[in-house]
Amino acid sequence: MSDEASVIARIAHDVRASGVEAGDILLVHASLRALGFVPGGAPTVIAGLQQALGPAGTLLMPALSYATVTPAHPYFDLTETPANVGVIAETFRRTPGVQRSLHPTHSVCSSGPATAALLAAHGDDRTPCGQHSPFRLLPTFRGKILMLGCGLLPNTSFHAIEELVNPPYLFGAPLDYTLVDGNGVRTVRRYTPHGFAGVRQRYDRIATQLISPALRVGQVLAARVYLFDAAAMWEAALAALQADPYAFVEFVEESDRASTPGGS
């Protein structure tokens, strides 16, 4: 067995040991660096995740592009605009057979049987994580969320939960974006992006509100991982936000917020 094949099998084993099951619908946020040296790099990690899920499973990763699709450059090309959330997500986006939802800043990539059902209607939303977004749909599909070596902060699903509550910090000013779909068709659509003025995300606070099996802690290679049951996470986080709209943020100076990692 080659080094890459051995590591793929090891990743699949570790992911399963963390609570992922064959046939799961799994949304993954990942850091390649946290895993340590991986022969073959990001494609090896993706292959390990897919091996853990098996052919009946569906693998999703955020392909967020808010770093390049900005108010100064409100242009999104479904095929060409890169993801800005790490090399694993960007490699997955470029993998043959992987599909991407049509959204200028908060698109999601997916492969597997549930892909069409999760991605197809995201283009109908006019906010980052609206009712048709894969982030909003995941709990209804009994999905799971794997934070693979990146901690608990960059959990984009929290934005979908926040949109249900609409806390004062959430939305910015509406903006017209130019979108180019996979067939090269260009449209202009108005979206209301997230703002987060004066606050820093603290989605890690959810860890104090969940216990296993709603939240499991494991290890994949050198990386600590957290596995959420999406529906259980949503139930706990939504209740917390309804009680306190600032439950998962803290107030900061704007200069401090800009230098804080974990944006999602």
For residue 261, the model assigns a pLDDT of 36
Helix (H, G, I), strand (E, B) or coil at 231: helix
| pLDDT for 1 | 67
C-alpha–C-alpha distance, residues 234 and 140, integer Å: 10
What does the pLDDT look like over 195-230, one tens digit per residue?
998 999 999 999 999 999 999 999 999 999 999 999
Q: What are the extents of the domains in the chain?
A: 3-258
Per-residue confidence (pLDDT) for residue 253, from 0 to 100? 74
**What's the CA gap between 199 and 263, in Å, rounded?**
11
DSSP for 241-264 reads: HHH-TTTTEEE--HHHHHT-S---
The pLDDT value given to residue 223: 98
Q: What pLDDT, on a 0 to 100 scale, did the predictor assign at position 254?
A: 58
The two three-digit tokens of residue 204, written as one number = 């890690």
Task: Please give the model's pTM, rounded to 2 decimal places.
Answer: 0.94
Q: What residues of the chain score a pLDDT lower than 50? A: 257-263
Return d(Cα 261, Cα 264) in angstroms, integer: 9
pLDDT given at position 263: 47
Say what the pLDDT of residue 2 is.
Answer: 80
* pLDDT computed for residue 197 by the predictor: 87
Three-state DSSP at 219 gives strand
**Burial class of residue 239, CB neighbours in 10 A (0-12, 13-18, 19+):** exposed
Would you state the pLDDT for residue 255? 54
